[in-house]
Chain A
Amino acid sequence: MDFVAVTAERKLDARKLRADFPIFEQEVRGKPLAYLDSAVSAHKPRQVLDKLRNFYETSYANVHRGVYTLSEVATAEYEGARDKIARFINAPASRELIFTHGATESINLVAYAWGLDNLGPGDVVVVTELEHHSNFVPWQYIAKRTGATFTAIPLDEHGELRLDALGEIEQAGNVKVVANNLVSNALGTINPVEKLSAWAHERGAIMVVDAAQAAPHHAIDVQELGCDFLAFSSHKMCGPTSVGALWGRAELLEAMSPFNLGGHMIRSVKLEETTWGQIPFKFEAGTQPIAEAVGFGAAVDYLTDIGIGAIEDHERELLVYALEKLAEVPGLTAYGPAPERRAGIVSFNLEGVHPHDVAQILDMEGVAIRAGHHCCQPLMAKLGVAATNRASFYLYTIPEEIDRLADGLHKAHKLLA
């Protein structure tokens, strides 16, 4: 035990952490890669890559199937990953943590399995105009199929949720679902999920949280958030692609119909009738992304060792620095809230220069940013633009990359504005 008093979390050393990421050993267009697109997907450290390789080489078998030792070893690894990931979001029980293929599938699972049985005419499904399409389109579609009313909490012209509109929304009928992201992928806004959870519960509705963008950067405690479901993806958290998680309250999951049907999710199958297995297996039909789930567990270990608080502090420092540097670029408009309420994401436009051209010019400098609508067309409409540029930071981002971003923007302005 170490008795040195630690008041704040350790600061992270991004330069040192970069050495964990083989991808940064390469050059792009003759320049070191400046990867400012972690909000769309994060790179993978050796610790995760080694875990994947090691698992395949020493412990791989299908899980929950074999009586033989190897299958038991694989199952223990898979279930161990579930335990770690459940602890990471302070879930009351591991069996409430379902492996999926990612946040999108997690949200679809709730929309179909809960929505089809619980929604109907007179009911209201509430999302927000700030949602990623993956927490918007499934709800819009299931509402249409069940005859429920679909509505969105509007944004003001700064992209802030207009909670003053809730009173009006309530008039539309019986509010049954509220779905919101904890952190916006387009603006970085940290949204008031606790408040919305309380509002939803006062009306007997369930609260569904899209934490795809929060989980990599911001400590999550599902009990504090007071939500009923929470969805996230491994690949944005330094883990493998094609795996993610859905956390849900046990009593809701137990009452729900299954989503995918097939092997492994059953209790017994007869010609006349099939009965479902227990949670979480009821929702894990077929062979799962086993190694990916184990790698996801290793990614959660990696983030936990660094400390989510330290990651958040690092990103906020970069954000403040980036906003200063970007303010010096002529014709630049930055969107999004104050740094205190925001993850490491900067969305902006350069007057007279289309985001595609900005991203292209930056790519020639080896700087990778995103240009587009970020799967948030309702938000873009509110901001009155078709697309924005987005630079996003992570634990391995260093200030020099932001300097190169700013230099590239000055160049784009000079050439095209």
Chain B
Amino acid sequence: MSEFDQLYREVILDHYKNPRGHGLIEDADAEAEGQNPLCGDEVSIYVAFGEDGDTIDEVKFSGRGCAISQAATSMLTELVQGRTAQEVATLPRDDLLDEIGIPLTPVRLKCALLGLSTLKLALHKAKGTPLPEEWAGASSDLDLK
């Protein structure tokens, strides 16, 4: 497979062109906005919990991004469905990266992980789960109400 076909493999293009979980949740139980300072991309994540108030029932996202970030966030919405807030807050990033399954340079890694780190931020704000490492030190700028 050429490098190109590897990076933009069918499943990535499919998630990019038909993103799962794209949209808003009105009155979401948890939400947050994340930015990629390298390119100015922004993503908003919305979470609705199930009746137990802890299991993720639905995740949606909106915002703009490259094929890698959009596809990764789309895959993420499927990956975390039915898991608890705590499980997702401590979800190793490799679980998502395995799903994406393509070699990523450090810059593109930031694209791929923007959705996950924003989801973890949303859970932190709503549930007090641990703040992901990439937000450490930025918390004074964050609206942590």
A interface residues (Cβ-Cβ under 8 A, vs B): 29, 354-357, 360-361, 364, 371-373, 377, 380, 386-387, 415-416
Contacts and interface: CB of A to CB of B under 8 A. Distances in A.
Q: How large is the interface on B (under 10, 10 to 19, 20 to 34, 35 or more residues)?
A: 20 to 34
A29 B105 CA distance: 15
A360 B7 contact: yes
A355 B4 contact: no
Contacts of A361: 4
A372 B65 contact: no
A372 B38 CA distance: 7
Q: Interface SS of chain A: helix, strand, loop or mixed?
A: helix
29 contacts: A29-B3, A354-B41, A354-B64, A354-B66, A354-B67, A355-B39, A356-B67, A356-B68, A356-B108, A356-B111, A357-B8, A357-B66, A360-B108, A372-B39, A372-B40, A373-B39, A373-B40, A377-B40, A386-B39, A386-B41, A386-B42, A386-B64, A387-B39, A387-B40, A415-B8, A415-B13, A416-B8, A416-B13, A416-B16
A416 B17 CA distance: 8
Given A372-B40, A377-B40, A357 B4 contact: no
Contacts of B108: 356, 360
A385 to B, nearest CB: 9
Contacts, number: 47
Contacts of B67: 354, 356-357, 416
Nearest to B3: A364
Interface of B: 3-4, 7-8, 13, 16, 38-42, 64-70, 108, 111
A356 B111 CA distance: 9
A377 B39 CA distance: 9
Contacts of B39: 355-356, 371-373, 386-387
Contacts of B3: 29, 364
A136 B32 CA distance: 28
B75 to A, nearest CB: 17
A361 B68 CA distance: 12
Contacts of B42: 386
Contact of B40 (A360, A380, A415, A416): A380
A364 B66 contact: no
Contacts of A364: 3-4
Nearest to A415: B8
A360 B111 CA distance: 12
A274 to B, nearest CB: 36
Q: Which of B38, B39, B70, B108: most chain A CB closer than 10 A?
A: B39
B113 to A, nearest CB: 14
Contacts of A29: 3
A354 B65 CA distance: 7
A371 B7 CA distance: 18
A371 B111 CA distance: 13
A69 to B, nearest CB: 48
A373 B40 CA distance: 6
Nearest to A364: B4
A355 B66 CA distance: 7
B42 to A, nearest CB: 7
A412 B38 CA distance: 21
Nearest to A372: B39
B3 to A, nearest CB: 6
A415 B7 CA distance: 12
Contacts of B7: 360
Contacts of A355: 39, 66
Contacts of A356: 39, 66-69, 108, 111
Please provide the 7 A-B residue pairs with the shortest distance between their CB atoms, ordered closest to farther.
Answer: A356-B66, A354-B66, A386-B40, A373-B40, A387-B39, A372-B39, A357-B67
A380 B38 CA distance: 13
A372 B66 CA distance: 11
A380 B39 CA distance: 11
A349 B51 CA distance: 45
B66 to A, nearest CB: 4
Contacts of A386: 39-42, 64
Contacts of A373: 39-40
